[in-house]
């Protein structure tokens, strides 16, 4: 069997087009566009690229974009003050503080300072707790994008065996919560899991989010399973440009899976699309409007 490639780029474009329509409708009703503020501290080139593409996507969706690029000498209290200012700014519906932050800044403190109704990353404990207890929440963009691709591929996930490899607050844990919400049987595996191969080989759905290049081998995959690869690992190449690979050995896994996301062009573009979606949803909730439909 040769797996189909799940086209996250195309799915992301489709979501962003629906968001853009929703933005126009919101603006008619609220008299202002939804707004997203991004905060980048320091000069990490990869972070700068990601934040730029988020700002571009925001403008393309017709939303107001407020980009704050700060030097890596920014103190923690200066950053907390900026977040407080953005919390109070009525034009701002979403606040994204790009991670990782420089080591002299406590990420936990920064996340805890973001107003939960503007936390479009879904990282605040309020949103994590609301997701875990089945209340309306802002849900982290990457797992939300993964769930979107899974439902597009499989429809109903009820009763399926899902394995999430990785237990981060950003991907693994919220991914598991979302799958549980869809009535999948969920296993969370991690670096201490014994016999990972055997655990993976039982799964109808594999979500790999460990950050270790090509760690999941093709023969681990149950024939006909669906594989979502969250990893983005840059490997060195002779020409110095580097090559992106996921956490799954793609060329092997296509021989076993029913469908699989490539890297790049899989989960990454969906993350940005879901950030646009979350910003539109946050704008509606903050304006006292019902959630937009069909996103």
Retrieve residue 79's tokens. Answer: 């950053």
What does the per-residue mask of binding to ligand GUE show for 106-125, with x meaning CB under 6 A? ---------------x----
Residue closer to ligand GUE (CB basis): 8 or 292: 8
Distance CA 251, CA 17 (A): 31
DSSP-derived secondary structure letter, 216: B
- The candidate with the shortest Cα–Cα distance to 205, out of 174, 159, 249, is 159
Among residues 98, 173, 204, 222, which one is catalytic? 98
Distance CA 289, CA 30 (A): 9
Active site (annotated) includes residue 121: yes
DSSP letters, 154-180, are HS--TT-EEEEE---TTTHHHHHHHHH
Active site (annotated) includes residue 118: no
Which residue from 265, 285, 286, 287 is in contact with ligand GUE, where contact means CB under 6 A?
265
Distance CA 83, CA 145 (A): 26
- Does 188 show up as a binding residue in the annotation? no
User: Which range touches ligand GUE (CB under 6 A), out of 94-102, 180-188, 191-199, 206-214?
Assistant: 94-102
Q: Is residue 99 a contact residue for ligand GUE (CB under 6 A)? A: yes
Which residue from 272, 273, 280, 282 is in contact with ligand GUE, where contact means CB under 6 A?
272
Distance CA 9, CA 28 (A): 29
Active site (annotated) includes residue 98: yes
Q: Is residue 264 a contact residue for ligand GUE (CB under 6 A)? A: yes
Among residues 93, 118, 119, 121, which one is catalytic? 121
Q: Is residue 176 a contact residue for ligand GUE (CB under 6 A)? A: no
- The candidate with the shortest Cα–Cα distance to 170, out of 141, 146, 191, is 141
With H, G, I as helix, E, B as strand and everything else as coil, classify residue 21. helix
234-253 binders of ligand GUE (CB under 6 A): 244
- Does 232 show up as a binding residue in the annotation? yes
Q: Is residue 148 a contact residue for ligand GUE (CB under 6 A)? A: no
Cβ atoms of 9 and 269 closer than 8 Å = yes
Q: Is residue 74 a contact residue for ligand GUE (CB under 6 A)? A: no
Beta strands in 11-160 (DSSP E): 35-41, 64-70, 94-97
Among residues 54, 118, 173, 222, which one is catalytic? 54
Binding site for ligand GUE (CB under 6 A): 50, 96-99, 121, 141, 232, 244, 263-265, 268-269, 271-272
Positions marked active-site:
54, 98, 121
Q: Which residues make up each annotated binding site? A: 166-168, 232
């Amino acid at each position: 069997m040769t797996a189909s490639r799940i086209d996250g780029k195309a799915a992301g474009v489709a979501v962003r087009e629906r968001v853009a329509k929703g933005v126009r409708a919101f603006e008619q009703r609220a008299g202002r566009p939804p707004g997203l503020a991004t905060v980048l501290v320091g000069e990490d080139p990869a972070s700068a690229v990601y934040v730029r593409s988020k700002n571009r996507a925001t403008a393309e969706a017709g939303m107001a974009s407020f980009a704050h690029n700060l030097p890596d000498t920014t103190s923690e209290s200066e950053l907390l003050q900026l977040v407080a200012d953005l919390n109070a700014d009525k034009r701002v519906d979403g606040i994204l503080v790009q991670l990782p932050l420089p080591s002299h800044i406590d990420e936990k403190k920064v996340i805890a300072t973001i107003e939960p109704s503007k936390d479009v990353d879904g990282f605040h404990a309020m949103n994590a707790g609301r997701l875990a207890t089945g209340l309306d929440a802002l849900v982290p963009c990457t797992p939300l994008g993964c769930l979107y691709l899974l439902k597009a591929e499989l429809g109903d996930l009820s009763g399926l065996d899902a394995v999430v490899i990785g237990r981060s607050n950003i991907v693994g844990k919220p991914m598991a919560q979302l799958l549980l919400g869809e009535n999948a049987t969920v296993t969370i595996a991690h670096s201490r899991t014994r016999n990972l191969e055997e655990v993976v080989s039982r799964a109808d759905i594999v979500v790999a989010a460990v950050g270790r290049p090509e760690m999941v081998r093709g023969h681990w995959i149950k024939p006909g399973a669906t594989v979502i690869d969250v990893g983005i690992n840059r490997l060195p190449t002779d020409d110095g440009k580097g090559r992106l690979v996921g956490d799954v050995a793609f060329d092997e896994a296509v021989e076993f899976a029913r469908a699989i996301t490539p890297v790049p062009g899989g989960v990454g573009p969906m993350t940005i699309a879901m950030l646009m979606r979350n910003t539109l949803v946050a704008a509606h909730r903050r304006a006292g409007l019902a959630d937009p439909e069909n996103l």
